[in-house]
Amino acid sequence: MAEGFGKILKAGTRVLFSLLGGVAGYQVAQIILRQGWWKGGSMSHIIAINLLFIGALSLTGFILSIYFVKGLVFIGTFSERQLQTTSWHDLSVSVIGLIVGLLVANLIALPFSGLPAVGSYIAVLLNLTLGYLGVRIFSRRRDEILNMWSSLGGLKGKLIFRGKKGRQPSSQGQQEDLFLEESRETPPKILDTSVIIDGRILDVAKVGFLEGPIVLPRFVLTELQSVADSTDPSKRSRGRRGFDVVSELQKLREIHVQVLEMTLKDLGLEAVDEALIALAKQVGGKILTTDYNLNMRAQVEKVVVLNVNDLANSLKPVLLPGESLVVEILREGKEPNQGVGYLEDGTMIVVEDGQRHIGRKVEVFVTSLLQTSAGRMIFGRYVREVQR
């Protein structure tokens, strides 16, 4: 389809340039005849002159159209190549800078417009200079301009909310609008791929422990799609499970899930983890994740992280050193004579002198606990074997 459109464009351009050349040739012939530069005033001479100039300039226009189309193709290819490395934000800011520069140039050029001969040249020079300066200055100050625009939007939301704060909503629709405006006061939560695939965030949202806007960036959906398209069956099933979780989250009335149309190229980054941290800094949000490495990286970057693993660990039953419990030894540990078992919630228990009791239930005396974002480990000492 694109190739056919290109052929139509080339043919139309050649016809147009040929017609323009013919018109120009006819006008040149008329000027020559009026001025008497061509001797002979018979009808055949007049027709010959018109045909000569119309044909010559039509051919010239046809030839120029070929180079004109090649020039357009070169400019289009060059622009496309440049725009591949330019984000939409950079392009928008540059266009705004160009508009501002041209407006200022025309305002300055007004007093010079009445000057004879040089007034128009001054206006053109000012438009070229200030238009270029506008693009350069706005491009260099891109981040400051975007932050200022975001601040103005947030200020507007706060003013609207404060204006309605003292008014009681009279209908369900007004209640929903008021709720959405109030949610702007709550920092947004940004989902990453790991917490979506994990799926427990859906249960947390269902019971009402998740509030405020939930942001799902486009680059996270892209990464989730790559997992769902994997040739590995386990990865493919986890990716599809992630899309089911997203669909269920969007159906919940308690929260508002917003898909943010932002790519890695828009942020000028290549890694998803770096993009999540940059986005959280930009919008003042918190990252929802189960990724231990992302958790540690975000803490270094001073970004708030809500780790679902930390939440799950904090809800597990509390065991203190000195207490006893019963566990089945399933396998041997890393150290000599160690056995390993698991509680019902998945907590691993390392038992000293438990290796010879593999496959049996034993009573364990708790000696110490180790709590990390990756989970909790309990260390204990074998006491006695428990009959089934």
Angle between helices 2-35 and 43-83 (to 10 degrees): 140
Alpha carbon distance 93, 380 (integer Å): 62
Mean pLDDT, contiguous 10-residue spans, the chain (388 residues): 65 85 84 72 75 86 85 76 66 85 87 73 83 82 67 45 42 43 67 90 86 87 89 88 89 84 84 89 88 88 86 75 88 89 84 88 89 76 83
| pTM of the predicted protein model | 0.44
Q: What is the pLDDT of residue 371?
A: 74
Contacts of 141 (CB under 8 A, 6+ apart): none
Q: What is the pLDDT of residues 190-249, one digit of tens each?
A: 999 999 998 888 888 888 888 778 889 989 999 999 888 888 888 889 889 999 998 888
Name the amino acid, one letter, at 179: F
Rounded Cα–Cα distance for residues 221 and 203 (Å): 20
pLDDT confidence of residue 183: 44
Quote the CA–CA distance of 350 and 382 in Å, as a whole number: 10
Q: What pLDDT sits at residue 38?
A: 65
As a whole number of angstroms, the distance between CA 113 and CA 106 comes to 10
In angstroms, the CA 333 to CA 346 distance is 16
pLDDT, one tens digit per residue, over 42-69 is 777 777 778 888 888 888 888 888 888 8
Strand order in the sheet with 189-191: 256-260, 213-217, 189-191, 286-289, 305-307
Integer Cα distance of 374 and 293 in angstroms? 10
Largest CA distance in the chain: 130
CATH architecture of 186-313: 3-Layer(aba) Sandwich (3.40)
pLDDT value at residue 340: 92
The partner residues of 372 in beta bridges, in order of sequence, read: 375
- The percent of the chain in helix, strand and coil, each rounded to the nearest 5, is 60, 15, 25
Residue 115 CA: distances (Å) to CA of 119, 129, 310? 5, 20, 75
Where do the structural domains in the chain lie, given as residue ranges? 2-139, 186-313, 318-385
Bin 251: left if φ > 0, else alpha if -120 < ψ < 50, else beta: alpha
What is the predicted pLDDT for the residue at 157? 44
**How much is the pLDDT for 6?**
65
Phi and psi of 143, rounded to 5°?
Answer: -60, -40
Which one is the CATH code of 318-385: 2.40.50.140, 3.40.50.150, 2.30.29.30, 1.20.1260.10?
2.40.50.140
Query: For the residues of 96-148, what is the DSSP string, one character each?
Result: HHHHHHHHHHHHHHGGGTTSTTTHHHHHHHHHHHHHHHHHHHHHHTHHHHHHH
